[in-house]
Amino acid sequence: MTVKDMVGNDAPFGESTCIGAKEENSDVIKRQLSHQRPDVAGIISELQRAAPTVSADTHHMENKALIAQVAALRSEMLQDAPLTNERLSLTSLIPEDGHPNVSVYNDELRGLGSPTWLNTVWMWSECYMYRCVLFTPLRSSIHADYPPDQRRLVALFRNTRHWGDFDPFHTQKVMALRSSRMAVMEHVTHFDQLTRGVAHSDFDAQRQGFSAVCKRSLWGNATDLSLLPNISHGEIQQLQKAGGNKDRDGFILVNHLSAAFDRLALAKRLNKPHRRVVIVLDNAGFELLVDILLGAFLIECGLATTVEFHPKDCPWFVSDVIVADVHDLLEELANPDHLFSNVDPRRAQDCATSPQKMALSRLSPRLANMFNDGSLVIRTDPFWTTGGSYWTMNRVAPHLFANLAEADLVIFKGDMNYRKLTGDAMWPTATPFPEAIGPLAKHGLCALALRTCKSDVVVGLAPGQEDVLQQNVLAQGSSSGRSWAWDGKYALAQLSLGRKGGSLDVNVRWT
């Protein structure tokens, strides 16, 4: 299947192939299975854990029913079952439930032929699992009495009386944040030091500060619970330290951060009254912290007057941010005793220092003030939980596209956002990033992708760069010369200015 097949006339730049099960790449299939199976098994475990906490009979009945339905779903995935049910007409289509992206999914599903769990477009099937089968946001009180054969084909949690707002990944996200407490304190302290007098600092100092916070946001993306289900606590800590380690700069394969700064600095230099940056979020917990610190830095130094954070509107890919996660993080920062619960005070390495505690005590009210005065804003849109490429945004969600196109910069965090920006297609790695994001660049959206490489799609490399990477990983004992694209050790910071922005050769100096 080509990008054009998937997104129709929104694909003006060629016929690159969407990644799917027909790819003759066993590594792709193995990773797909390794991502989805633990996710579904984890949902069952969390439902079982939550069962003793409820008392009403209907709670228990629905809990048991949900466990059975999710287990049946997992069985179907393992058996590569069809996404359709020939015994019932149109059972693969999602019943209308009041949410605007239902019709988007149904239109896409009609165009996929006769898909099975492992024989369809990967990106779409992953999103189908989370959005269409497991979760539907909003109005948790709605209950639809669908026949048993259709139970798996509707949003399971939505169609209960008591479990519609249940986030089966909440415990994982909270524990991941608390296990990151020392990295949290290190980054909070760095932010506290970096932003002292930053509003009045010179051009070069602000450029360096912008690069520093962006790199911390970039490497914060390395710890993704959906892609690293078996990662150890020690490995997480090492990944989180990477953001402040200059030795990691050589692992950033493409670095357009200086050009992105020039874009924002130009708007400030011209005294543009409203300078807006949008950050399309990825993971909760530690990564959300460094993303919020990036937004706060932009406000503090005047590179933006407003920063919008765009989370998902329902639980998504295990660790993706939903609105509740933002509130949870701010609550943890305001009450650091939560972060350091169950810590042995005799283990100094696990305890915050006095300077770290002071930095945190200053950060929490600063962030609260920014959210209260509207400098930092949270906005959701149902488009972020659709299954297709962002190439369709101008057609499917024109209101959202118009909002993003008017922003001075839109920062897309993480692997799934990158895959959707590029149509999840197997572009040649030397394909220019603006070409790979198609109509987004064509229609003037200024996009910066911050992403550690954890899937096959990579664009924007220099000619010959892929060959060097392949030789390096093979020399290091990797079984695949392509492993550099998905092992999370490399990263990309890629900018497309769009037609409105011209080339990347922007050069701004203060007067």
Examine residue 511 and state whether it is found in any structural domain, yes or no: no
Classify each residue of 126-141 as buried b or exposed e, where b means 16 or more C-beta atoms within 10 Å of its C-beta: bbbbbbbbbbbbeebe
- Residue 246 in 3-state DSSP? helix
Domain edge (last residue) among 86, 119, 153 = 153
Tell whether 420 and 466 lie within a shared domain.
Answer: yes
Tell whether 188 and 140 lie within a shared domain.
Answer: no
Predicted confidence (pLDDT) per residue in 92-127, tens digit: 566 666 667 777 877 887 788 788 887 888 788 888
Domain edge (last residue) among 153, 181, 197 = 153
Tell whether 216 and 107 lie within a shared domain.
Answer: no
Domain edge (last residue) among 153, 185, 201 = 153
Examine residue 165 and state whether it is found in any structural domain, yes or no: no
Examine residue 402 and state whether it is found in any structural domain, yes or no: yes
What CATH number did the domain enclosing 327 receive? Answer: 3.40.50.10880
Tell whether 134 and 192 lie within a shared domain.
Answer: no
- Dist. CA 224–CA 454, nearest whole Å: 9
- Dist. CA 272–CA 437, nearest whole Å: 27
- Dist. CA 496–CA 423, nearest whole Å: 16
pLDDT (0 to 100) of residue 294: 98
Count how many Cα atoms sit within 13 Å of the Cα of residue 233 in the half-sphere of its side chain: 9
pLDDT (0 to 100) of residue 44: 87
Distances (CA, A) of 205 to 1, 103, 290: 48, 49, 20
> How many distinct structural domains can be found in the chain?
2
pLDDT (0 to 100) of residue 36: 53
The model carries a pTM of 0.86
For the chain, 511 residues long, give each residue's pLDDT as a single digit of tens: 444 444 444 543 334 455 654 444 445 555 555 555 557 888 888 888 888 666 667 778 888 888 888 888 788 888 888 875 443 333 456 666 666 777 787 788 778 878 888 788 878 888 888 865 565 443 232 233 333 333 333 357 766 777 777 888 898 888 888 888 888 999 999 999 999 988 778 889 999 999 999 999 999 988 665 555 555 556 666 666 655 567 789 999 999 999 999 999 999 999 999 999 999 999 999 999 999 999 999 999 999 999 999 999 888 888 999 999 999 999 999 988 777 766 555 555 567 788 888 999 999 999 999 999 999 999 999 999 988 899 999 998 999 999 999 999 999 999 999 999 999 998 999 999 999 999 999 999 999 999 999 988 999 999 999 999 999 999 999 888 999 998 889 999 999 998 654 444 333 333 2
Its domain, for residue 303, covers 170-501
